[in-house]
Structure 1
Amino acid sequence: MGLFQPDTEIFRHRDALREDYQPEEIIGRDQELQQYISALQPVINGDQPANVFLYGKAGVGKTACTRYLLSELKADATEYGVDLTTVRTNCEDLNTSYQVAIQLINELRPPDDQLKPTGYPRRQVNEWLWEELDAIGGTVVIVLDEVDHIEDDSLLYQIPRARANGNLEESKVGIVGISNDFKFRESLSSKVQSSLCEKEIQFPAYDANELRAILRRRAEVAFYDDVVPTEVIAKCAAFGAKDAGDARQSLDLLMEAGDVAVERGVERITEAHVDEARASLERSRIVDGVAGLTQQGHLVLYALVMLHEEGETPTRARAIQDRYEIVCDRAAADSLVPRRMRDHLNELAMLGIASRVERNKGEVGGRYYEYSLDTNPDLLLEALDETVDVVGVTEAIENRLDRSA
């Protein structure tokens, strides 16, 4: 008998809990789906596609709804004789319109005719993009996931107007922009807002009931019968609802709890397995999040941890700036100006390591943000061990390290 054998006790189809799994039915998004269907209706009519902008926090169904509806749209387009092509690219590692254009061209070209990441005049790249899109013909829907990572909006302006400007003759192109950043729309120029955000759909956080329904349906596919009791579904959903209504977190937690049950050699998942899984995922999230930060991000985070341990949080950015400059001095590193330091604070908030709350003190105090730690400080100090060694510790940090030793 070999070392590896098929699982016949817990998982029937573990991949049903993964992010890239496409369920046959979308749960908890009836209103959003109806808005989305209305926005995509012109495609079936043979008209110019509407440009659709979806926004909401991570894990609230934007990408899943997009995959589901575009799959349905392609099937219906074939039935009604509509020539439809969909192109999807993730902009997470693409900071400029130039990089996005290169990526789109490579998505449309065969593998043996790919462009290099750099080295071409911008105008030439745009002309190549129009050529590739026009060569397709018919209707083209371009999905730009995590579109908020694009720092300039020139391509977001040009694609919706390509046909009107004479750059396209054979193709009708529409954009679906997906963003986790509610404020991204405000950063766009007014001319881009009027085109890219032609149709807007906001995806709110899931509540606990919706998360329970999603988990129950996925569990029916992922696990064997009677493996996941109701209380386990409820606990995973509660954690997800507490953490910003994120279905992805709930599904990851359920999958990790299943892995714990497999390791234990038991036949059912218990609430204790969920607790153990949550601790493991939290540690991994923090380690991965901190590892992805720059040196300056580490220094900003350590300054916030110090203030947290001293009972000085929530606090404004200027107080964190003062402590951060001390930390930089001890690390022999140049400190950033306040605006750039705040960018790192906002990144920590986006990662869920810190929280940011807006305060409004009226005409006297004005509006400002307060920041606080939103993660287990023991795990953060463990992940920041090199920074702690270089900067040194305060009395409060030393006490924390002694307690966790």
Structure 2
Amino acid sequence: MMVTEQRYLDSLFERYLNARRIFRNKEVLRHSYTPKELPHRLEQIETLAHILVPVLKGETPSNIFVYGKTGTGKTVTIKFVTDELKRVSEKYNVPVEVIYLNCEVVDTQYRVLANIVNHFRYESGFEVPLVGWPTDEVYSKLKEVLDAKERFIIIVLDEIDKLVKKNGDDILYNLTRINTELHRARVSIIGISNDLRFKEFLDARVLSSLSEEEVVFPPYDASQLRDILEQRASEAFNEGVLDPAVIPLCAALAAKEHGDARKALDLLRVSGEIAEREGSEKVLERHVRKAQEKIEQDTMEEVIKTLPLHSKLVLYAVVVLEEDNALPVHTGEVYVVYRELCDALDVEPLTQRRVSDLINELDMLGVINAKVVSKGRYGRTKEIRLNIPPFKVKNMFRKDYHLQALLAMDFHRQRRLF
């Protein structure tokens, strides 16, 4: 490296290092942070404490199911209450273990059981591999590990609806009945779900063994979100760096998203990051607008990247039609191009009815717009439009090895030749 380049890099890092710091403690704005106080969740905290207090008397508490939309404070409240329960249980010499599992990550019955066993690996000196054992053997090991001593074990299953919808409810049936097979330990379940209709997916035998209490978390309004942000901002930012309009704007934007506190915190954090990157003295309203645009783009990119292959092919069919200036189109026209894409990749196509379902799913995700319109005496049909510029979709697809061949052959140009 040349001397002039080294001097430039030195001055570059020193310039960023010596710039006015926006954040005092950015971690306070992360979803994983558990604050000392939870504004506007006192009712839910007291309900949960009332359900769990039997532990301190040596009694097994009821199972709990917590419902509410994303960003309504479910997870942070459960962590807050269980942390406090553990603290008080130590004071009264009541052994309590809390095991937290996110079922979006730990997404099979085997993994749930293995992770619970491995929570006690330092105590038992034993660890279950995350694949490879028969599930019955893992369950047997689970009972042995849990029952090693007298204690209360609270298992928190966050996003439990995703686990049950993907794998069925056997895991809940086994965990809710495990106390009948234990002699020393006692287990209680706390399930957290974004789906208020979650119990509709459960078998009658599971429902009968749950004996659960329900706690519902309503969405926050703009005023409540403002209180939450002001509390976090006092710890997260250095004094005087936030323009007075920033917190009300973050709260108002997040209130439109069903009162999502996570969205509000993300907006505030990313606004600060953008201001810091620009070398601004303060976080301003324009930084919030930029943060909103960045978050929406990042969210949409994550949604598209994680789509199943056939959903990506349906989406790519809409992109092809957009680039052919054919939009809006109907389901049948999308299906024709989708089949051509399947042929090009040597993939077995789905039925038109199933593709119609995938179009509805893409519509719900906000990737496309599928509007039902009336054609008078010819009935009703769907008009399909793309909600994202085609080049952005294609840029996201460049990282998918399945679709790289389609991008390389410039599929829409080839279609025009036929």
1:6–1:144: structure 2 CA closer, same or farther, 3 Å change rule?
farther
- Note the alpha carbon deviations across 1:320-363, whole angstroms, 9 max, x for none: 767644553465432234676577567657766468999xxxxx
Of residues 84, 87, 95, the one that matches 1:75 is: 87
Of residues 145, 152, 157, the one that matches 1:144 is: 157
Q: What residue is the counterpart of 1:221 in the other structure?
A: 235
2:297 aligned with 1:278 = no
User: Number of residues paired by the alignment?
Assistant: 385
CA distance in 2 between counterparts of 1:108 and 1:357 reads 53
1:246–1:347: structure 2 CA closer, same or farther, 3 Å change rule?
farther
Matches within 5 A, 1:378-389: 379-384=392-397, 386=404
1:347–1:57: structure 2 CA closer, same or farther, 3 Å change rule?
farther
Residue identity in the other structure for 1:113: F
- Normalised to the residue count of structure 2, the TM-score between the two structures is 0.79
Q: Give yes or no for contact 1:49–1:172 (8 Å, CA) kept in 2.
A: no
Q: Give yes or no for contact 1:94–1:149 (8 Å, CA) kept in 2.
A: no
| Unmatched 5+ stretches in structure 2 | 1-9, 373-378, 399-403, 414-418
Of residues 12, 16, 32, the one that matches 2:28 is: 16
1:197–1:113: structure 2 CA closer, same or farther, 3 Å change rule?
same
SS in 2 for 1:135: coil
CA distance in 1 between counterparts of 2:160 and 2:295 reads 27
CA distance in 2 between counterparts of 1:355 and 1:202 reads 32
Moved more, 64-73 or 280-289: 280-289
Moved more, 327-336 or 277-286: 327-336
CA distance in 2 between counterparts of 1:153 and 1:255 reads 38
Of residues 282, 288, 292, the one that matches 1:268 is: 282
| Deviation, structure 1 residue 44 | 2.5
Q: What residue is the counterpart of 1:362 in the other structure?
A: none
- Normalised to the residue count of structure 1, the TM-score between the two structures is 0.81
Q: What residue is the counterpart of 1:202 in the other structure?
A: 216
Of residues 48, 63, 66, the one that matches 2:60 is: 48
CA distance in 2 between counterparts of 1:71 and 1:375 reads 43
RMSD: 3.6
SS in 2 for 1:39: helix
CA distance in 2 between counterparts of 1:373 and 1:28 reads 39
- Note the alpha carbon deviations across 1:282-329, whole angstroms, 9 max, x for none: 22222232222232231133346678986659x8x8897676445534
Q: Give yes or no for contact 2:154–2:187 (8 Å, CA) kept in 1.
A: yes
Matches within 5 A, 1:225-374: 225-303=239-317, 312=328, 324-325=338-339, 327-329=341-343, 331-337=345-351, 341=355, 348=362, 353=367
SS in 2 for 1:299: helix
| Deviation, structure 1 residue 85 | 1.0
| Unmatched 5+ stretches in structure 1 | 359-364, 395-405
Matches within 5 A, 1:122-161: 122-150=135-163, 151-161=167-177
| Deviation, structure 1 residue 262 | 0.8
Matches within 5 A, 1:65-144: 65-110=77-122, 113-144=126-157
Q: Give yes or no for contact 1:331–1:391 (8 Å, CA) kept in 2.
A: no
Percent identity between the two aligned chains: 35
Q: What residue is the counterpart of 1:401 in the other structure?
A: none
Q: What residue is the counterpart of 1:163 in the other structure?
A: 179
- Note the alpha carbon deviations across 1:160-202, whole angstroms, 9 max, x for none: 21122xx211011000111223333211112223444711222
SS in 2 for 1:268: coil
| Deviation, structure 1 residue 373 | 6.4
Moved more, 290-299 or 172-181: 290-299
